[in-house]
Amino acid sequence: MMSSEGKSNDGAASEYGVGGTRATGVEVAEKPRTRNWIARAYRSDKRIFISVVLLFLLSSVGLVVSYANLTSTATNPNSGPYNSFSTGTVTISDNEATTALFTVSNADPGASGSACIGVQYTGTITNGSHVYLYAANVSSTNSLGNDITFAAQDGTDSAAFATGDTSCATFTPNADTTAASHATTGNAITALAISSWPILDSTGYSLSDTGSGAPVQLWSTNPTTVWYMFSYVISGTAPGGSTANIQLTWEADGQ
């Protein structure tokens, strides 16, 4: 049986929670309602925020759709073939590319000879090409290149380009009256020592498609074929046991 003081203590225990905090019936009932109100307010704010975002997105889509409805285009052409561009070609070849015109061995001083070669332009550029002749490679021992003169004459030949005519049996020189370059007389390239031949296109002989005349004419017809007769003379004072070499190059430069 409990004393009145004990009852008082029990009553106090029922009015205060752990830690001595007063926990009345009113306060216990209010806290859940407060949390519920905050949760409802948060959910409401969240719905409002999502609604605003959706409204903004829908408005943006509406703007795009409205703009697209006002778009107009024009094309040229409406269908293929479309505007197109292509570049032409510059192509030049000779009919003795794999065989040297001259292979002279154990020659006597004062020896001479000649050989012919055909050069053909098959480029497709419409305004033609300049063609230059020069020696890409020149070499000699004991300065033999100084004792061999080398000259060229342009012309025509009845032989087919594919078969060649190194013998010059049907070669006909062009009857030009104007020099092919600064170092020529008539239509024949001046006989120069092999060691003196130009080795660059910029200093080489400028050629025309109808003969070595000036002003230079462009090689434009596809095909254009010009024949050349090359001649050499070995000096009577050439050193024995020596060699000399020259590689001929025709270069077509598109304009």
pLDDT for 45 equals: 59
Which tokens sit at 36?
Answer: 């519920």
Q: pLDDT digit string (tens) for 72-111?
A: 999 999 998 999 999 899 999 999 888 899 999 999 999 9
pTM of the model: 0.66
Domain positions in the chain are 4-68, 92-254
Closest CA to 152 of 119, 125, 120: 119
Q: Is 255 exposed, middle or buried (0-12, 13-18, 19+ CB in 10 A)?
A: exposed
Of the given ranges (46-60, 116-130, 229-243), which has the lowest mean pLDDT?
46-60
d(CA 143, CA 141) in angstroms, rounded, equals: 5
Residue 183 pLDDT level (bands cut at 50, 70, 90)? very low
For the ranges 31-40, 115-124, 188-197, the one whose mean pLDDT is highest: 115-124
For 151-168, what is the mean pLDDT? 85
Higher-confidence residue of 188 and 124: namely 124
The DSSP-derived string for 117-130 is EEEEE----TT-EE
Which tokens sit at 156?
Answer: 């025509």
